[in-house]
C-alpha cells in the first residue's frame, strides 16, 4: 500500500482485513535484527528494516576504536537462540562481535529485509497506521513501527570553548578515523570512561606521547580476559547444553553481584569497592597518582569499568594523566586551567553518548499531533520501557527505563521482543485495531520506578553519569533484571487501551 491510498478513521486495520501487518523496524543492530528473526518465527513476514548506515551492527559497527571489547562475557553476550561455541575470548573484541552479527544476518536471511543507507526522517500516526517517511522511499504506510535505535548511539561532543579551532586531527571515539596514524604522534584523549580506558591501554605503546584528560576518576576492576582453546570450542560444539549452562552461570554471577550492588545491597557494593581499591593499590604504587585515580563517590554509581591495561599504561614514561580541568581547546592543543598548553597532533574525544535521545532527533508524531519530544518534555519515560500513551502500535526497544543495568542488553531486548509479539498476536487473534498503554498505567509504573530508583547507587552514590536524565534521576530500571524478565513474560492487557 502506498500513501496515496486514502486513510480514514479506523479503516485499514490489518487484523480485520485478514492480511499480514506491514511492520517497519528502525535500526539493524542486535535489537532490530532480533526483531526480524522473532517476528518471522511468529509468522509475520511483511517486514522492512530501515538502517541509516551502509552496514548492520549498531554500536558494534560504529565503534571500531583500538582495544574495543565487550565487558559482558561472550557466552552471555549473544542471542539465546543462536549461541556461539566458537568465541575466541572470554570477553570478545569488537570485530568478532560484529562478525557474529554478520553471520546471524546471513544464516537467518536478514539482508532482504534491510534497507541500508535509508534513514527515517519522520513518523506520523494516522490511526491505526503510521506514515513513515524515509530518505530513499519518501512516504509509506505501516501498521506497526518498532524503534530499535539503541541507546549509546549519538556521540556526545564536549562543550569546551574552542573545540572547533583545533588544527590537528580530532574525532570522537565512536567515529574513529583509521586514516590517522598514531605512531610517534602527540595524542590527547578526553575522558576516562569504559571507552577511554580501553583506548589508552591499546595505543599507549605506539604513540609518541599521550595526555589523558581526566575530569572524574572512575572505579576500575581487572578484566579477567582469557583466550579459549580449540579443545574447549570443540567441547562446546559437541555438547551444546554446556553453552546454556555457562551462559546462565555468568548471568547469575553478574546480576547477583553488580546487579545487587547497584540496588541497595551494601555488602555487595562494599565488596566491589574493596576489589577496586585493592586493584588500584596493586597496580599503582605511586601514592600521588593513586590519589588522583581514587574516586570520591561509591563504586557502581557510574558504570563500573573492567580494564586491566589502563593503570599500567598511565605509568609509562610517555603517558601523562592530566587532572587539571580543561580551560579551552586551541589550534595546537588543550589549554588547562593552570595555564599549561598541552600540544597535540591528534585529539580523541572519548566523551560518551547522548543517551537520553533515544529515537530523537527523528520526529515522532502521535495522536492529536503530539510529538514524542513534547510528550517527554526533556524527561523521556515509557510504559514498561517500551510504549507510550497516545502513540499506538509503536514500540521502542531499550527505550526509557527499559535499559537494565549490569546485564546483557541482547537478552533484555529478546524479552522485549517477546512482549511486543504477544501484543501483536493479541491484535491478530481478537481482530483489534490498535494498542497503546493507558495513561494511568504509564503514570503508575513510572511513579513506582521513581520511588524505587532513589536507593540505587546510580541515584545516591554521589556521582554524575550518562544514566541520569536532566532532572538528575537515573533513567534506568530500578529492580533486578529477573523482575523485568517476568514483566516481559506476562503482558497485562489491563494496562493497555485495546481499540477494536
Instruction: State the residues that interact with ligand NAP by CB under 6 A.
Output: 69-71, 152, 158-160, 190-196, 198, 215-216, 303, 326, 350-352, 464, 466
Give the nearest distance from C-beta 404 to ligand NAP in angstroms: 12
CA distance 460 to 302: 11
CA atoms within 13 A on the CB side of 466: 21
3-state secondary structure of 264: coil
Q: Peptide bond before 128: cis, by omega within 30 degrees of 0?
A: yes
Distance of CA 121 to the CA centre of its chain: 21
In the complex with ligand NAP, which residue's Cβ is closer, 145 or 190? 190
- Cβ atoms of residues 437 and 388 within 8 Å: yes
CB of 34 to ligand NAP, least distance (A): 19
Least distance (Å) between residue 100 CB and ligand NAP: 15
What is the Cα–Cα distance from 458 to 259, expressed in whole angstroms? 11
Rounded to 5°, the CA angle 397-350-475 comes to 35
Closest separation in Å from C-beta 302 to ligand NAP? 6
* Of 146, 144, 147, 151, residue with least CA distance to 130: 144
Q: How far is the CB of 190 from ligand NAP (least distance, A)?
A: 5
Round the CA-based radius of gyration of the chain to a whole number and report it.
24
Query: Which set of grid coordinates corresponds to residue 88?
Result: 575466541
Residue number with CB closer to ligand NAP (298 or 383): 298
State the Cα–Cα distance between residues 282 and 291, nearest whole angstrom: 13
Q: How far is the CB of 196 from ligand NAP (least distance, A)?
A: 6
Nearer to ligand NAP, 70 or 83 (CB): 70
CB closer to ligand NAP, 305 vs 427: 305
What is the DSSP code string of 93-112?
BHHHHHHHHHHHHHHTT-GG
SS3 219: coil
31 vs 198 by CB, closer to ligand NAP: 198
Nearer to ligand NAP, 13 or 463 (CB): 463
> Which CB, 16 or 215, lies closer to ligand NAP?
215
HSE-CB for 175 with a 13 A CA cutoff: 15
Q: Which of 452, 479, 294, 408 lies closest to 460 in space, CA to CA?
A: 452
Tell me how far, at minimum, the Cβ of 405 lies from ligand NAP, in Å.
9
Q: Quote the CA–CA distance of 324 and 297 in Å, as a whole number.
A: 19
**Rounded to an integer, what distance in angstroms lies between the CA atom of residue 147 and that of residue 38?**
15
Tracing cell 541507546 back to the chain, one arrives at 151
Measure the CA–CA gap between 75 and 174, rounded to whole angstroms. Answer: 25
Min separation Cβ 217 and ligand NAP, Å: 8
Instruction: With CA atoms as reference, report the closest residue to 353 among 256, 437, 461, 467.
Output: 467
421 or 463: CB nearest ligand NAP: 463
| Cβ-based nearer residue to ligand NAP, 130 or 484 | 484
The cell numbers describing 393, all together, are: 502500535
- Continuous H helices in 342-438: 372-376, 409-429
The position carrying cell 553488580 is 258
The smaller minimum CB distance to ligand NAP, of residues 194 and 243, is found at 194
- Report DSSP state, residue 48: E
Distance of closest approach, residue 79 Cβ to ligand NAP, in angstroms: 17
Q: How far apart are CA 147 and CA 164, in angstroms?
A: 33
Question: Which of 71/206 has CB closer to ligand NAP?
Answer: 71
* Residue 231 to residue 238: CA distance in whole angstroms: 11
Min CB(218)–ligand NAP separation in Å: 6
Cite the beta strand spans of 218-259 per DSSP E: 220-221
Q: How far is the CB of 160 from ligand NAP (least distance, A)?
A: 5
Q: Which residue, 216 or 315, has its beta carbon nearer to ligand NAP?
A: 216
- How near is the Cβ of 188 to ligand NAP at its closest, in Å? 11
Amino acid at each position: 500500500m502506498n500513501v496515496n491510498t486514502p486513510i480514514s478513521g479506523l479503516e485499514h486495520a490489518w487484523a480485520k482485513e485478514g492480511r499480514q501487518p506491514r511492520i517497519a523496524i528502525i535500526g539493524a543492530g542486535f535489537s532490530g535484527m532480533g526483531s526480524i528473526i522473532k517476528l518471522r518465527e511468529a509468522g509475520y513476514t511483511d517486514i522492512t528494516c530501515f538502517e541509516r548506515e551502509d552496514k548492520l551492527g549498531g554500536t558494534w559497527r560504529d565503534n571500531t576504536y583500538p582495544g574495543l571489547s565487550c565487558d559482558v562475557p561472550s557466552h552471555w553476550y549473544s542471542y539465546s537462540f543462536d549461541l556461539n561455541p566458537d568465541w575466541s575470548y572470554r570477553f570478545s573484541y569488537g570485530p568478532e562481535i560484529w562478525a557474529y552479527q554478520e553471520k546471524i544476518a546471513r544464516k537467518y536471511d536478514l539482508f532482504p529485509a534491510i534497507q541500508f543507507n535509508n534513514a527515517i526522517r519522520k513518523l506520523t500516526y494516522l490511526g491505526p497506521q503510521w506514515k513513515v517517511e524515509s530518505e530513499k522511499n519518501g512516504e509509506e504506510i505501516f501498521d506497526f513501527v518498532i524503534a530499535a535505535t539503541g541507546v549509546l548511539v549519538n556521540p556526545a561532543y564536549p562543550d569546551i570553548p574552542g573545540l572547533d579551532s583545533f588544527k590537528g586531527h580530532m574525532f570522537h571515539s565512536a567515529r574513529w578515523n583509521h586514516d590517522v596514524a598514531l605512531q610517534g604522534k602527540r595524542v590527547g584523549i578526553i575522558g576516562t570512561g569504559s571507552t577511554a580506558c580501553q583506548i589508552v591501554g591499546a595505543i599507549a605503546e605506539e604513540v609518541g606521547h599521550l595526555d589523558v584528560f581526566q575530569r572524574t576518576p572512575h572505579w576500575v576492576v581487572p578484566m579477567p580476559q582469557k583466550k579459549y582453546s580449540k579443545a574447549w570450542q570443540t567441547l562446546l560444539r559437541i555438547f551444546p547444553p554446556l553453552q546454556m549452562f555457562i551462559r546462565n552461570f555468568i548471568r547469575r554471577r553478574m546480576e547477583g553481584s553488580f546487579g545487587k550492588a547497584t540496588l541497595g545491597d551494601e555488602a555487595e557494593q562494599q565488596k566491589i569497592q574493596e576489589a577496586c581499591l585493592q586493584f588500584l593499590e596493586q597496580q599503582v604504587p605511586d601514592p600521588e597518582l593513586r590519589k588522583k585515580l581514587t574516586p570520591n563517590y561509591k563504586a557502581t554509581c557510574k558504570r563500573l569499568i573492567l580494564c586491566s591495561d589502563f593503570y599500567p599504561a598511565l605509568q609509562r614514561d610517555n603517558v601523562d594523566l592530566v587532572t587539571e580541568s580543561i580551560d579551552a581547546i586551541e589550534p595546537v592543543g588543550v589549554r588547562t586551567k593552570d595555564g599549561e598548553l598541552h600540544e597535540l597532533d591528534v585529539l580523541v574525544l572519548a566523551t560518551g553518548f547522548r543517551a537520553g535521545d533515544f529515537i530523537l532527533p527523528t520526529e515522532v508524531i502521535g495522536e492529536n499531533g503530539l510529538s514524542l519530544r513534547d510528550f517527554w518534555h526533556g524527561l523521556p519515560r515509557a510504559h514498561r520501557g517500551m510504549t507510550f500513551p497516545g502513540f499506538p502500535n509503536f514500540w521502542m526497544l531499550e527505550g526509557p527505563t527499559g535499559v537494565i543495568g549490569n546485564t546483557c542488553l541482547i537478552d533484555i531486548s529478546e524479552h522485549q521482543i517477546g512482549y511486543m509479539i504477544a501484543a501483536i498476536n493479541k491484535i491478530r487473534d481478537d481482530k483489534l485495531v490498535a494498542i497503546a498503554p493507558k495513561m494511568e498505567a504509564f503514570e503508575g509504573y513510572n511513579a513506582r520506578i521513581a520511588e524505587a530508583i532513589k536507593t540505587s547507587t546510580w541515584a545516591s552514590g554521589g556521582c554524575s553519569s550518562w544514566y541520569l536524565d536532566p532532572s538528575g534521576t537515573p533513567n534506568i530500571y530500578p529492580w533486578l533484571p529477573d523482575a523485568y524478565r517476568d514483566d516481559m513474560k506476562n503482558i497485562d492487557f489491563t494496562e493497555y487501551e485495546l481499540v477494536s
